[in-house]
């Protein structure tokens, strides 16, 4: 816990903010990357504060950026953060493990964006061609969105009893370092299950890099990548703050759909990104990327994780994962 608090202080939250907050105060954490664009817009346009004011509430919002779901979940469950974000599989895992206790549930999705499994090994055309000589980079080997997606695809080909077949050649490496390795072509890492903008960079940076799998292929079409979630306690004890957050996320998603070029500029400012504006605009405008708060194929993902034994509880509907405010969305 001390380590998590230190991370929060380093991210900009004050020592006083570690204490529990009442209605009108919100501590939010996001991770890095363009898949968090909705959060970037919410922050820049102060949309939570805007919707709080409409409800007669002056909301004080504190933002932090953390890398990795472990730090996120520890901070949430020890009441050092109110709202956090992570990939869909880790989110469903904490939903599963806190049922009947903290009851962590989802606030909203942050968009449907594919991840690509890319390699610079010319002999690898599909995952069937991967061997002990290959090394696959993911942000968190075995548990990340990318690793879970690869496990689901592996189970389809080799059977559920062998779904961890490629875990032995998967290594934990941040996306930027893995991208650099693929582009250089001179390191042990020759394969990377990447999110945007990293697979865009790899495919453009080395002519030998090619896609061998899309997560959209694995789950049968567009699917939710990242989610925003919190505890039942925060949801129930802070109804106005919660509703302001939910409304802000929805407004940001709508604004992005209507202002894609401007949204790319927001990303660069908020993330202090050095990526070319042209590339970021290309990503935001790519029809594969849908910045929506409605979940897509989340029930299917949950069912796959249940079948593999990753989670113990099977949802009857995608709505089981969400607080009731989101039930009006057209999700799946």
pLDDT in tens, 297-321: 999 999 999 999 999 999 999 999 9
Question: Final residue of a domain: which of 219, 240, 263?
Answer: 219
pLDDT digits (tens, 9 = 90+) for 168-199: 999 999 898 999 999 999 779 999 999 999 99
Considering the domain architecture, whether residues 124 and 200 belong to the same structural domain is answered as yes
**Residue 11: pLDDT over 70:** no
Own/partner pairs, 266-273, CB within 8 angstroms, 24+ separation: 266/37, 266/40, 266/41, 266/44, 267/34, 267/37, 267/40, 269/44, 270/40, 270/43, 270/44, 271/32, 271/33, 271/34, 271/40
Considering the domain architecture, whether residues 103 and 233 belong to the same structural domain is answered as yes
pLDDT band of 1, cuts 50, 70, 90: very low
Distance CA 117, CA 46 (A): 36
Question: Final residue of a domain: which of 177, 196, 219?
Answer: 219
pLDDT at 120: 97
**Residue 12: pLDDT over 80:** no
**Residue 16: pLDDT over 50:** no
pLDDT at 20: 46
Considering the domain architecture, whether residues 107 and 243 belong to the same structural domain is answered as yes
**Token pair recorded at residue 98:** 């806190």
Considering the domain architecture, whether residues 295 and 322 belong to the same structural domain is answered as yes
Contact call for residues 212 and 124 (beta carbons, < 8 A): yes
Look-up: residue for tokens 């730090």? Answer: 71
pLDDT at 10: 47
Considering the domain architecture, whether residues 211 and 89 belong to the same structural domain is answered as no
Contact call for residues 224 and 195 (beta carbons, < 8 A): no
**Residue 46: pLDDT over 60:** yes
Considering the domain architecture, whether residues 139 and 75 belong to the same structural domain is answered as no
Contact call for residues 115 and 199 (beta carbons, < 8 A): yes
Q: How many domains does the chain have?
A: 2
What number is the average pLDDT over the span 35-39? 96
Diameter over CA atoms, the chain: 62
pLDDT band of 45, cuts 50, 70, 90: very high
pLDDT band of 140, cuts 50, 70, 90: confident
**Residue 8: pLDDT over 80:** no
Handedness of CA 32, 200, 136, 189 (dihedral sign): negative
Considering the domain architecture, whether residues 148 and 282 belong to the same structural domain is answered as no
Least confident of 14-18, 191-195, 260-264: 14-18
Considering the domain architecture, whether residues 167 and 253 belong to the same structural domain is answered as no
**What pTM did the predictor assign?**
0.90
Neighbours of 14 (CB within 10 A): 10
What number is the average pLDDT over the span 1-23? 48
Contact call for residues 225 and 111 (beta carbons, < 8 A): yes
Distance CA 181, CA 16 (A): 41
pLDDT digits (tens, 9 = 90+) for 263-295: 999 999 999 999 999 999 999 999 999 999 999
What number is the average pLDDT over the span 203-216? 96
Neighbours of 271 (CB within 10 A): 18
Stated as kind and residue range, the H or E segment containing 214 is strand 210-214
Considering the domain architecture, whether residues 238 and 210 belong to the same structural domain is answered as no
**Token pair recorded at residue 12:** 């900009």
Distance CA 124, CA 116 (A): 14
The CATH number covering residue 39 comes to 3.40.190.10
Distance CA 228, CA 252 (A): 14
Considering the domain architecture, whether residues 49 and 32 belong to the same structural domain is answered as yes
pLDDT digits (tens, 9 = 90+) for 59-99: 999 999 877 778 889 999 999 999 999 999 999 999 999 99
pLDDT at 13: 52
**Higher pLDDT among residues 3 and 257, named by residue:** 257
Considering the domain architecture, whether residues 315 and 231 belong to the same structural domain is answered as yes
User: What is the extent of the structural domain holding 269?
Assistant: 2-112+224-328
pLDDT at 7: 47
Contact call for residues 186 and 130 (beta carbons, < 8 A): no
Considering the domain architecture, whether residues 16 and 136 belong to the same structural domain is answered as no
Per cent of the chain over pLDDT 70 is 93
3-state secondary structure of 127: helix
The residues that bridge with 22 in the sheet, in sequence order, are none
pLDDT at 78: 93
Distance CA 151, CA 165 (A): 8
What number is the average pLDDT over the span 137-149? 92
Question: Final residue of a domain: which of 168, 194, 219?
Answer: 219
Distances (CA, A) of 1 to 27, 76, 83: 17, 11, 17
User: Peptide bond before 22: cis, by omega within 30 degrees of 0?
Assistant: no
């Amino acid at each position: 816990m001390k380590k998590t608090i230190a991370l929060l202080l380093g991210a900009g939250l004050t020592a006083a903010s570690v204490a529990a907050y009442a209605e009108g105060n919100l501590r939010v954490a996001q991770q890095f990357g363009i898949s968090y664009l909705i959060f970037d817009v919410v922050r820049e346009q102060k949309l939570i504060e805007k919707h709080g004011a409409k409800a007669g509430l002056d909301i004080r919002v504190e933002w932090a950026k953390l890398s990795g779901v472990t730090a996120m979940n520890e901070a949430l469950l020890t009441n050092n953060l109110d709202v956090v974000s992570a990939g869909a599989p880790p989110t469903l895992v904490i939903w599963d493990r806190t049922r009947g206790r903290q009851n962590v549930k989802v606030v909203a999705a942050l968009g449907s964006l594919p991840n690509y499994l890319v390699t610079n090994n010319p002999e690898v055309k599909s995952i069937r061609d991967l061997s002990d000589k290959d090394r696959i980079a993911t942000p968190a080997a075995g548990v990340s969105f990318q690793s879970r997606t690869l496990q689901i695809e592996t189970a389809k080909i080799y059977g559920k009893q062998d779904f961890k077949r490629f875990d032995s050649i998967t290594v934990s490496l941040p996306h930027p370092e893995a991208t650099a390795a693929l582009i250089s072509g001179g390191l042990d890492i020759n394969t990377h299950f990447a999110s945007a903008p990293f697979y865009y960079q790899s495919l453009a940076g080395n002519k030998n890099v090619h896609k061998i799998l899309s997560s959209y292929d694995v789950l049968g079409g567009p699917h939710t990548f990242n989610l925003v979630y919190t505890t039942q306690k925060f949801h129930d004890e802070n109804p106005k703050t919660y509703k302001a957050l939910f409304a802000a996320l929805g407004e940001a998603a709508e604004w992005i759909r209507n202002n894609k070029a401007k949204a790319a500029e927001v990303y660069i400012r908020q993330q202090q990104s050095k990526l070319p504006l042209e590339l970021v605009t290309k990503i935001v405008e790519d029809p594969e990327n849908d910045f929506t708060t409605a979940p897509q194929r989340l029930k299917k993902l949950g069912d796959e994780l249940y079948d593999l034994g990753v989670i113990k509880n099977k949802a009857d509907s995608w709505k089981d994962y969400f607080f009731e405010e989101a039930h009006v969305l057209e999700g799946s």
